[in-house]
Structure 1
Amino acid sequence: MIDIFGSGFQRLESALVAREEAQGVHSSNVANADTPNYRADARTFADFLNERQSGHTAGPVATTHASHFKDSNNGRLANSSLFHSQSSRRMDGNTVDMQKEMARMAENQLMHELSMRLIKGKLSGLTNAIKEGNR
């Protein structure tokens, strides 16, 4: 059987999901901009896309051996490189840079809209092929 959607749709689907996850990270950072000692999450669209394409999704951290580190930060590793630690830390310990987060959110939204337009174009092409086939 021929796959009329092809791998292009799968890649676009992965990109859309990764964009949504990245938007959630940016939203969370903005929402916690006034939270003392909050360390901004530094994960990017590329991180989420790589997870989706490799089949590895971030889930709860499990310790399977006594010498493993324990996760004590609600599902996030406290000393992980997922967080901005060296960026401009304010007096209250917060590392969120609102201007950068808002710019990243805007860029992510534009790229999400572009991905949606690509999907609409592909579906429109399939619709036209189906309509022309019925003549």
Structure 2
Amino acid sequence: MDLFGGSTFRVLERGLDGAQLRQNAISQNIANVDTPYYKAKDVSFKETLQQAMNEPKLKAYRTNEKHLEFSSTSTGPVIETTRNTMYNHNQNNVDIDLEMAELAKNQIYYNALIDRMNGRFSSLQTVIRGGS
């Protein structure tokens, strides 16, 4: 039995990875709010998380090495640069109010994932201890 390789742990892990990457991008945006020509970055990981949730659980058995392997292709979170806006006279497009709101939203999302992960570990701990 694979306790930590289940789909719930995989989805939570990928969600945490995406939230951490988004935190880094938002931090860079805030740090460069006054940097001339800096373009804001954003992380798109909802599609990757959806792929992780829909990953097939069926493993194929190859009877010949010439048979194709079944594997999932996960590209991971994508960092995107927004180039079509400009908020400052120096062609910087970082909106500090938007970035602070995104930072708070990402922190709430990250904390929710951590709480869920802790709940899963608490359940495992209860099972290991025999329900007491």
Query: TM-score, normalised to structure 2's length?
Result: 0.73
1:3-42 map, 5 Å: 3-5=2-4, 6-42=6-42
Runs of 5+ consecutive residues of structure 1 not aligned to the other structure = 59-75, 77-81
1:74-93 map, 5 Å: 82-93=80-91
What amino acid sits opposite 1:28 in the alignment? Q
1:99-114 map, 5 Å: 99-114=97-112
- Matched residue, 1:56: 75
Q: Aligned-pair distance for 1:90?
A: 1.5
Counterpart Cα distance in 2 of 1:42 and 1:19 = 11
Runs of 5+ consecutive residues of structure 2 not aligned to the other structure = 53-72
Counterpart Cα distance in 1 of 2:86 and 2:47 = 22
Contact 1:15 1:115 in 2 (8 A): yes
Counterpart Cα distance in 1 of 2:30 and 2:85 = 15
Instruction: For residues 11-38 of structure 1, give each alpha carbon's deviation from its aligned partner in whole angstroms, at most 9, with x where no partner exists.
Output: 1001001100000000000000010111
Q: CA RMSD in A?
A: 2.5
Q: Percent identity?
A: 31
Sort the Cα spacing of 1:47 and 1:90 in 2 relative to 1 into closer, same or farther, 3 A: farther
Structure whose residues are more often strand by fraction: 2
Q: Aligned-pair distance for 1:48?
A: 6.3
